[in-house]
Structure 1
């Protein structure tokens, strides 16, 4: 079982666990965690192969889900975005006794078609000569072609860390690149999670569509869908205030 790095905020109230998406780390959700921490005990997870958590030799959503579930000591409101959302869904399906309620952020329990976007990002990150890198601004310049959007590029560069006199990437980029097809997929399962589920979508994102609703409702019959305007795939960072309000109402009901 992969060792997960966990950060805890708040000392009172019911537990909430937040699982980030591809290329992220738990601290990306700090602002939202702080908004909940006055009335909840919030845990920020660094997912396997990301942040300060351990690396694995391959990507496997079932192992990822079990690693998340192993970090839960009591029925918890589990929140997951993108890759973290798929892991959270599977954690609820495989360990329903540990998940009091589930919030899935801009992802569906389906296999997505191949896209060049994420592979382009990883190729761009791997192409940077870390031994010859002088500054983070140099890294940003080197990554500009692969990630022209400044916001996306800044997000990716949050995982570039100083390592002594040099630099290193926190994500396990080689394995992520090799197993991108695994990340796009979703394991077959007949399991059903009966607890309350909030399904949050960005209005400008294609990850949650009407055509995916039957798959979601089959596994999560007690689901309610909310679409947030002015947001794409990174809903929580593009519309943080609205997202936090929506999420707070859901977890406060637990």
Structure 2
């Protein structure tokens, strides 16, 4: 993996040397490198089957922070970053959860920049609040950063509030050491502040949702091939979401991945890799 230049100041990683272009967006508290296994599988052994870009969204990873959350800002920054990487070449945009909403907004607001879309386990609607992440946020805020002596110390302390080692490792990837001090690399304060808004949460919302708090004007639909991946054990995507998804993305095809939870690409990586390779081959 090598870093790609990012005039829009979002941190990126690249994989592959030739072939169709595909860009990946992670979910809340994630980083672009969370897509590395999938990206490597899509670009192939020799790196000639595709070219991949993995982006750290604003307020995440090594990308700059914002003062207030906005999907429109996220989408614009993503579109600028991808444009600097791909120029006028067609791009397939893949996004999971928070990244899936950002990908949908990017495709709707900047349709010329994208040829195809893949939305992973999220729907174009408001989820009302961040209650599913409330425990994660509280656990991260409660970690006494000034007392930590090592990453192992952090892991042992965090295990008391998050016993699932996979979830704990995912969240603690955001913990960084600078000299003798520790800090959260993600903008935890912004996420916590948004979560405190309850039903007014902008992260839980979707600007084009029928029930959005501050809905945007109805957009023109995105006409490119759209793959909608859902985990059968997740619950983030419901049957009633299909009508709105088809209104915004009329060429959508839904695929439910058996046995997968919300992190579909982590639970079923080979299924996701093969499905994306087929999407790239669609003409």
TM-score between the two structures when normalised by the length of structure 1:
0.95
Give, in angstroms, the shift of residue 236 of structure 1.
0.4
Distance 1:103 1:17 in 2: 10
- The answer (yes or no) to whether the contact 2:8–2:80 under 8 Å persists in 1 is no
Deviations 1:184-219 (A, max 9, x none): 100024211011100000000111110111111110
Residue in structure 1 matched with residue 249 of structure 2 by the alignment? 220
Cα-Cα RMSD:
1.5
Question: Which of 187, 190, 195 is the equivalent residue of 1:175?
Answer: 190
1:184 is aligned to 2:204: yes
Q: Alignment partner of 2:136: what SS?
A: helix
1:152 is aligned to 2:167: yes
Deviations 1:74-105 (A, max 9, x none): 32100000000000000000011111000000
Give, in angstroms, the shift of residue 165 of structure 1.
2.1
Is the deviation greater in 177-186 or in 198-207? Answer: 177-186
Deviations 1:17-47 (A, max 9, x none): 0000000001111111111222111100000
Residue in structure 2 matched with residue 49 of structure 1 by the alignment? 59
Question: Which of 238, 244, 251 is the equivalent residue of 2:273?
Answer: 244
Q: Alignment partner of 1:201: what SS?
A: strand
- The answer (yes or no) to whether the contact 1:102–1:197 under 8 Å persists in 2 is yes
Is the deviation greater in 89-98 or in 116-125? Answer: 116-125
- The answer (yes or no) to whether the contact 2:230–2:254 under 8 Å persists in 1 is yes
Give the 3 Å change call, closer, same or farther, for CA 115–49 of structure 1 in structure 2.
closer
Is the deviation greater in 13-22 or in 106-115? Answer: 106-115
| Number of equivalences | 254
Question: Which of 11, 30, 46 is the equivalent residue of 2:17?
Answer: 11
TM-score between the two structures when normalised by the length of structure 2:
0.86
- The answer (yes or no) to whether the contact 2:225–2:252 under 8 Å persists in 1 is yes
1:196 is aligned to 2:216: no
Deviations 1:107-138 (A, max 9, x none): 00000133533122112111111121012232
Q: Alignment partner of 1:215: what SS?
A: helix
Residue in structure 2 matched with residue 135 of structure 1 by the alignment? 150
Residue in structure 1 matched with residue 263 of structure 2 by the alignment? 234
Distance 2:264 2:161 in 1: 22
1:89 is aligned to 2:104: yes
Distance 2:18 2:31 in 1: 24
- The answer (yes or no) to whether the contact 1:80–1:86 under 8 Å persists in 2 is yes
Distance 2:178 2:121 in 1: 33
Residue in structure 1 matched with residue 132 of structure 2 by the alignment? 117
Q: Alignment partner of 1:184: what SS?
A: coil
Which structure 1 residue ranges, 4+ long, deviate > 6 Å from structure 2?
none
Give, in angstroms, the shift of residue 253 of structure 1.
2.5
Give, in angstroms, the shift of residue 145 of structure 1.
4.3
